[in-house]
Amino acid sequence: FIAKPCAINLGIQDSGAHRAQPNAILEKVFTSITKSPDGKRLEGLSKQLDWDVRKIQRWFRHRRNQDKPTTITKFCESMWRFTFYLSIFLYGIRFLWTAPWFWDTRQCWYSYPFQPLTSRLYYYYILELAFYWSLMFSQFTDIKRKDFLIMFVHHLATIGLITFSYMNNMVRVGTLVLCLHDASDFLLEAAKLANYAKYQRLCDAFFMLFGVVFIVTRLGIYPFWILNTTLFESWELIGPYPSWWLFNGLLVTLQILHVIWSYLIVRTAYKALVRGKVSKDDRSDVESSSEEEDVTSNSTKGVFSTSSNGSNRINGHVASGQWTQEE
- 105-137 in b/e form (b: 16+ CB < 10 A) is bebbbeebeebeeeeebeebbebbbebbeebbe
- 291-324 confidence digits (pLDDT tens): 333 433 333 344 444 333 333 333 344 443 433 3
Q: First-to-last CA distance in the chain?
A: 37
Domains in the chain, CATH or no CATH each:
18-67 (1.10.10.60), 71-284 (no CATH)
- 38-52 confidence digits (pLDDT tens): 888 888 888 888 888
The answer to whether the beta carbons of residues 249 and 27 sit under 8 Å apart is no
Q: How high is the pLDDT of residue 24?
A: 83
Q: How high is the pLDDT of residue 48?
A: 83
- Residues, the chain: 327
Binned at pLDDT 50, 70 and 90, residue 202 comes out as: very high
Q: What is the mean pLDDT of residues 193-205?
A: 91
- Name the nearest CA neighbour of 323 among 287, 291, 295: 287
169: left (phi over 0), alpha (psi -120 to 50) or beta: left
Q: How high is the pLDDT of residue 144?
A: 64
Q: How high is the pLDDT of residue 306?
A: 39
Q: What is the mean pLDDT of residues 268-288?
A: 58
- 154-178 confidence digits (pLDDT tens): 888 889 889 988 998 999 999 999 9
DSSP-derived secondary structure for 196-232: HTT-HHHHHHHHHHHHHHHHHIIIIIIIIIIHHIIII
Q: How high is the pLDDT of residue 179?
A: 94
H helices then E strands: how many in the chain?
14, 0
Residue 97 CA to residue 16 CA, distance in Å, equals 46
Residue 80 CA to residue 7 CA, distance in Å, equals 12
* CA dist list (Å): 63 to 125, 223, 325: 42, 45, 14
Three-state DSSP at 67 gives coil
Residue 293 half-sphere exposure, CB side, CA atoms within 13 Å? 15
Three-state DSSP at 55 gives helix
The answer to whether the beta carbons of residues 69 and 312 sit under 8 Å apart is no
Average pLDDT taken over every residue of the chain: 80
pTM of the model: 0.73
- Name the nearest CA neighbour of 128 among 181, 200, 57: 181
Binned at pLDDT 50, 70 and 90, residue 130 comes out as: very high
